[in-house]
Structure formats: C-alpha cells, structure tokens
Amino acid sequence: MVSRRFKIIFLFLASSIVLAKGEKLLGDTDGTWNYLGYNGYAGNVIMNSLTGSSYFYWLFNAINGNIFSDSLPLVIWIWGGPGCSGDMAMMYDNIGPFILNSNGQPVANPLTWTNNYHVMTIDHPLGTGFSLANAKSDFANSTTSASNALYNFLVKLAQKYPTWFNRDLYFFGESYAGHWIPGIAYKIISENNSPSPLFHFNLKGIGIGDPWIDPATQGNYSGYAYSNSYIDKEELQIIQSYEQSMSKALNESQLLKAHQDWSYILDLTQKYSGGFNIYNVREFTQLNSTLYANWLNLNTTKIMLHAPLNVTWVDCSDPVYNNLVTDMMITVGNLLPYIIDNIKVLIWNGQDDFMVNTLSTENMLNSLKWTGISNLINSNKIAWKVNGSIAGYVINYQTLTYALLLKAGHMGSHDQPANARDMINRFINNQGWK
C-alpha cells in the first residue's frame, strides 16, 4: 500500500485531476516517448467520450526489446492507495529504467525490471495520477467497479496494439493492489473462461507485496506492536479496545466506523512508538514525494509522456481515496481461491512493514478458503539466497508462494531492489528458490 500511503502521511496532498474548465479532450493522446536512450509509449486513452475521462498508462520497452515484434512477457504494475500513482513507483520502487537522484534528476537504473520484461504502469483507478475522472460517476466506489473499468481499458488498449498482449501477461503491485490485482485477475480469468471474451489475455500470474486484502484478519496490530516493544501493556489494552470495536463494526457491516477505528489504531500506535514510519519501522522520517512531483509536473515531462499539460500530478488523490473508504473495509480474500486455481500467485511481505505486517499477512493466508492452504502453511521453509546471502524465506505449494523479504518495509522493491528483482525473476521464470 502505498496505501494512499493509507491517508496518514499525505493528508496535505492536492485533490484529483480534472480538465481545465471548458477544455475538451477530443481523443486518445498516447504515443511514443524516448528518454536517456530508453523508449516506449505513454498517454491517455479515453474511457468516457461524454466526459473525457481517461486512463493514463506508461509503457517501458524492455531494454533491447521490441514490444511489436518480440515475445518477452509484459508486466503491468499497479500501485496502492487507493489513489496512488504508479508513475512514481516506476522510479521510487526501482522498476523502470531510470530513477531520480537526490537532486531530482533522472539517472540510469541498473536494477530495472526492463532488463528482462516490458513494463507498464497504469494510474488506477480513474482520477489517480494523470488518469482523469471528470464526472462523479467516473470515480470507482468499489473494487468491482474499478476492475470492470480497468478491464475495459485493457481491452481497448489490446485492440489498439494487439501485439502488446500476444504474450504472457503478469500483474504486480503492492499495498492496496491487494484489492486491485485480485479484482482485475478475477475479472480477466472469468472473461477468458466465458464463451466469447472481448479479448483473451494470456494471464500467467500475479504478485502482490504487503497486500491489503482482508481487514478482518489484517487489522490486528496490537500483537505485532507489543511483541516488538513498540507499545507497553497499558497501551496494548487501549489498542486492543479499538481492535475489538473495529471487529464488531466489520461484523455488523458498519464500514465507515470500521475505517475510523482502523485509522485511529494506526495513528495511536505511531504516537505510542515515538513516531516510527508505519511503512518501515526502522525509520522515523516520512517519505517525501516532492522530487517526483517536481519532475512529473515539468511541462517537458508531460509533453514527453503525452499527459495533459493542465494537470497537476500528485502522488495520491484524496477524492479517489474518499470514494473508496468503505471498499477498504471489504475483503477480497474470497476471490483468491479461484485465482490460485487458475494461475500462479506470489504474495510477499517486507519484514519491517507495520502497515501490513508479516503477522497480519500470515493471518490472512491462514484464513483463505483454498483447498491447498494447509499444505502451504505446513510446507518446508526455504532460505532464499541472492549472491550467497539470505534475502528472505519462502514457502510454496502448487501455484501459491509466500515470501518474506528481509530488511524491507512496505515498499520492498525500493528497500531491497536487487532481491526484489531476483524474486520477480524466479517467480516468472519458474526457477525455484534454492
């Protein structure tokens, strides 16, 4: 999650992106881009011709690859929030071919995923990043509505550029992508299995880091906080009282109340800890997105990416978040068994994340109604090594893999870029973990 960065860190951010008053977006704006020797496609694709609402995507050609003629896999990355832009993730999470240095200048990224794959990020849902939601009805209010809109966008893009999707397809993301990716994977698999799909996507697998999937099992923070000495016994009792209130609200479908309790639990624990970063407990400073906003808001950047010049890019959209507050308290764990039975699934968690901590993710896995879950839980732990050093621990059964990423927080690919890339390569290429 870059979990809106779950609303707690960036309450000061500006709201969603709209077209300037009176301006009309007449058609798709996407086209080629070339920068620092890297290239691809980017721009907005109209989804509602009446309002001009559109999805923004940013495609990076694999280095030495050609998405129009080769067969390399396509990896699609979606960030969390809800309402946080994947454009920043391409640089901050070391996924794209360039990153920003301390002066905010793009420099080559030797650990880019584009060494091996074509990579695309999508500002999802509408209203996020450079994606436009120009009418209230265009904002998603559930994982289902967001997944339907994203599927329609993918179909439209595949019809425009069919060779892009005549290859193996993977979805990866983190945080609230724990909702977004199961949602789109379930939609694609269901449509693929229907008599007449609009387009058959060769979806091979999904991977989600530190995923917010099931509030009922992942909203219990007190045990993790107390066992790591972030709270004392008195504070433990206070946190537990709010967890009980949240659980009661979830059981009674009082989703706004559940969200309020959940937010307060996080605020209170952060206060009791002395102000640790809930996305990485080893840190007591918060992520600053200014460098990324400055670069993405340059007119030269927008022109290169065929993004609307009148749009002010922000990393996370308040209107998108606010429209999905109740969705945050609804589980998508019920979608996973069907997905796991059809494609391979990787779930990983950073050791130092508090927002979606390892204990909560393991509780979520234990609750899955999948026939093979007991086999996964009881499988032998593998010490996964990269260049001779332990990068984490992995358990696997059939098509489901769970990995613990050591010395990493909520954004594991930022904290451990080499190990995260190794994890992705092993998963995609079925290389095993020993």
CB of 114 within 8 A of CB of 96?
yes
Q: Does 386 reside within a domain?
A: yes
Amino acid at 315: D
Q: Any alpha helices (H) in 378-416, and if so which ranges?
A: 412-415
Could you give the CA distance from residue 314 to residue 243 in angstroms, rounded to a whole number?
Answer: 32
Residue 26's pLDDT is 56
CB–CB of 76/120 below 8 Å? yes
Q: Count, in order, helices (H) and strands (E) of the chain.
A: 15, 13
Q: What is the DSSP letter of 199?
A: S
DSSP secondary structure, 313-338, as one string: --SB-HHHHHHTTTGGGS--GGGHHH
Question: Which residues span the domain enclosing 89?
Answer: 31-212+287-408+416-428
Please indicate, yes or no, if residue 341 is contained in any of the structural domains.
yes
Give a yes or no: residue 35 inside a domain.
yes
The amino acid that residue 102 corresponds to is S
Q: Does residue 82 have a cis peptide bond before it, meaning omega lies within 30 degrees of 0? A: yes
Max intra-chain CA distance, the chain: 63
The C-alpha atoms of residue 235 and residue 133 are separated, in whole angstroms, by 42
Q: What is the CA radius of gyration of the chain?
A: 21
First to last CA, the chain: 29
Q: What values do phi and psi take at 264, rounded to 5?
A: -70, -35
Report yes or no on 143 lying in a domain: yes
Say if residue 260 is exposed, middle or buried (CB neighbours under 10 Å; 0-12, 13-18, 19+).
Answer: middle
Structural domain tally of the chain?
1
Strand partners, 173: 78, 208
Structural domain contains residue 16? no
- Indicate yes or no: pTM above 0.95: no
Give every CB contact of residue 299 below 8 A, 6+ residues apart in sequence.
309
Phi–psi pair at 172, nearest 5 degrees: -130, 155
Confidence (pLDDT) at 22: 33
Q: What angle do CA 381, 169, 153 make, to 5 degrees?
A: 130
296: domain CATH number is 3.40.50.1820
Cβ proximity of 225 and 199 under 8 Å: no
| 219 lies in some domain | no
Q: d(Cα 148, Cα 180) in Å, to the nearest integer?
A: 11
pLDDT of residue 397: 97
Provide CB contacts within 8 A for 111, sequence distance 6+: 94, 417, 418, 421
List the pLDDT tens digit at each of the 434 positions of the chain.
444 444 433 333 333 333 333 334 459 999 999 999 999 999 999 999 999 999 999 999 999 999 999 999 999 999 999 999 999 999 999 999 999 999 999 999 999 999 999 999 999 999 999 999 999 999 999 999 999 999 999 999 999 999 999 999 999 999 999 999 999 999 999 999 999 999 999 999 999 999 999 999 999 899 999 999 999 999 999 999 999 999 999 999 999 999 999 999 999 999 999 999 999 999 998 888 899 999 999 999 999 999 999 999 999 999 999 999 999 999 999 999 999 999 999 999 999 999 999 999 999 999 999 999 999 999 999 999 999 999 999 999 999 999 999 999 999 999 999 999 999 999 999 999 98
Asked if the structure places residue 13 within a domain, the reply is no
Cite the DSSP H helix spans in 2-101: 86-92
Q: Phi first, then psi: give them for residue 278, nearest 5 degrees.
A: -65, -10
What CA–CA distance (Å, rounded) separates 62 from 167? 13
Cα of 321 vs its chain's centroid, Å: 14
Considering the domain boundaries, does residue 273 fall inside one? no
Distance CA 18, CA 135 (A): 9
For residue 119, the cross-strand partners are 60, 75
Q: Name the token pair of 14.
A: 């500006």
Question: Cα(64)–Cα(416) distance, rounded to whole angstroms?
Answer: 25
